[in-house]
Amino acid sequence: MSQIHHRVHHFIKTSRKEYRAGVLNAEDLDADPILQFGNWMDEAIDAQVDEPHAMTLATANRSGEVSARVALLRRVDNRGFAFFTNYESRKGRDLAENPNAALVFHWPSLERQVRITGKVFKTEAAESDEYFRDRPRSHQLSAWVSHQSQPIPDRHELNRVMREMEHRFLNQDVPRPAYWGGYILRPEVIEFWQGRPNRLHDRLCYRRINSQWILERLSP
């Protein structure tokens, strides 16, 4: 085993952390998990967590092959959790075949996680248009440049196509590509996790049953 691998192996094997930042009691939570999520997001923002809206998005295709990546939450309301992307990307292809997905938010400095599962559906075109108009122009152009998840010969190709798109849309608004837009994950399960000492973590889980949210505590 090489020295660097030995160091990595030793760190992974021996690393330990006791979680002592807080406690999580059912009586302190909002009856609506979306509002509770908003409360925790506010606290993450106040704590200056780096990119508190970053989330792991896990998808699977019809064959059950799973993939995951970090994406950014862009809206949350009573419909669910919204993000925007290329519909022809790996996640877009997965969701076209299998609408079930999962999200994980991890805020290490607060020793908190939120886990969410549910079904995903596309936003209306008007909502995707509205969000696209609010993006920086360079980000609008990059949506035309990138055929997300497809192989490219090198970085120079991206730069070449970016220059091409800058010329194409010179002195005009950049329209939203038809292959780019939003998704909303409608949650069926939302779990709030608070780290506690001795690995006896607090896990409080909301489940949607007949349009009602049922709250239960889970064993760590």
Q: How many CB atoms lie within 10 A of CB 31?
A: 10
C-beta separation of 219 from 144 below 8 A: no
205 residue type, one letter:
C
The predicted structure's pLDDT at residue 83: 98
The predicted structure's pLDDT at residue 3: 65
Q: At what angle do helices 155-168 and 137-145 cross, to 10 degrees?
A: 120
DSSP 211: T
Picking from 73, 67, 68, the residue whose alpha carbon sits closest to that of residue 56 is 68
Spans of the chain below 50 pLDDT: none
- Which domains are present in the chain? 15-132+179-217 (2.30.110.10)
C-beta separation of 142 from 93 below 8 A: no
Question: Is 0.85 surpassed by the pTM of this model?
Answer: yes
Which residues have C-beta within 8 Å of that of residue 130, sequence separation ≥ 6? none
